[in-house]
Amino acid sequence: MTTGGWLLAWHDDFDGPAGSFPDPSVWTAELGGGGWGNRELQTYTDARENVALDGDGHLVICARATTTESGDVLWTSARITTSGKRTSGHGLYEVRARVPSGVGIWPAAWTLGEDIDQLGWPTCGEIDLIESVGDATTALQTVHGGHRDATHWQLGVTTAVERPLCESFHTYSAQWFPDRVVFGIDGLTTGVVSARDATGDDVWPFPGQQYLLLNVAVGGTLPGPPDASTPPVTSLVVDWVRCSVQA
């Protein structure tokens, strides 16, 4: 299918029976805790309570809090990726989703370089189609890369919205060209990050393939910790994902 100069390379509409893991030929669950480099609190699992289809054409990634007998609060969630299964060079990534909200809740749809094991992060490059924190009244869309000494730089677009993103589904997009990334929400361009914006020893990090990730983190360096107001169960609901290349 070709639309607007883009040729659909792969997609997932998350059709399937309720409670099932999304298509394993496309998705792999990343498991474990340890903070994930951001001091996050959650442990990622592949349990149906954390990641499953709902039977109505949606993927649900759910962060859950459990209180132990000693009063400690333990968080579980899920992070799934297309690494090694569905990757793309320069192209258009789109994710239609309803993000969760809550103090310390950190949903994201993003890409990483398939060469991350060889180059490491951030040299492999990262494109955040959407991140939101807190009350979900701001959309964060960001490009991450490395300096020549492999330390981190980032450039991004911050978009304030009239109504919280958690109230409805929105389509988040990133058009990835050799020299720029064009971000959008619901078909409207929110901003552009260009290789020309990189300065000094910034290295534009996108020569190779990228893969897609979907997750809900809890706590960490961006949102800060959850508090008593944070919902004990909160979900990222994904309607579909699409990856297209130039026709």
Active-site annotation, residues: 126, 131
* Rg of the chain taking only CA atoms, in angstroms: 17
The residue assigned the tokens 């029976």 is 17
Q: Give every CB contact of residue 188 below 8 A, 6+ residues apart in sequence.
A: none
DSSP string, the chain: -EETTEEEEEEE---S-TTPPS-TTT-EEE-B-TTTTTTB--EE---TTTEEE-SSS-EEEEEEEEE-TTS-EEEEE-EEE-TTTSEESSEEEEEEEE---BTTEEEEEEEEETTHHHH-TTTT-EEEEEE--BTS-EEEEEEEEEETTS-EEEEEEEEE-SS-GGGS-EEEEEEEETTEEEEEETTEEEEEEEGGG--TTEE---SS-EEEEEEEEEBSTTT----TTS-SEEEEEEEEEEEEEE-
Give the number of other CB atoms < 10 A from CB of residue 25. 10
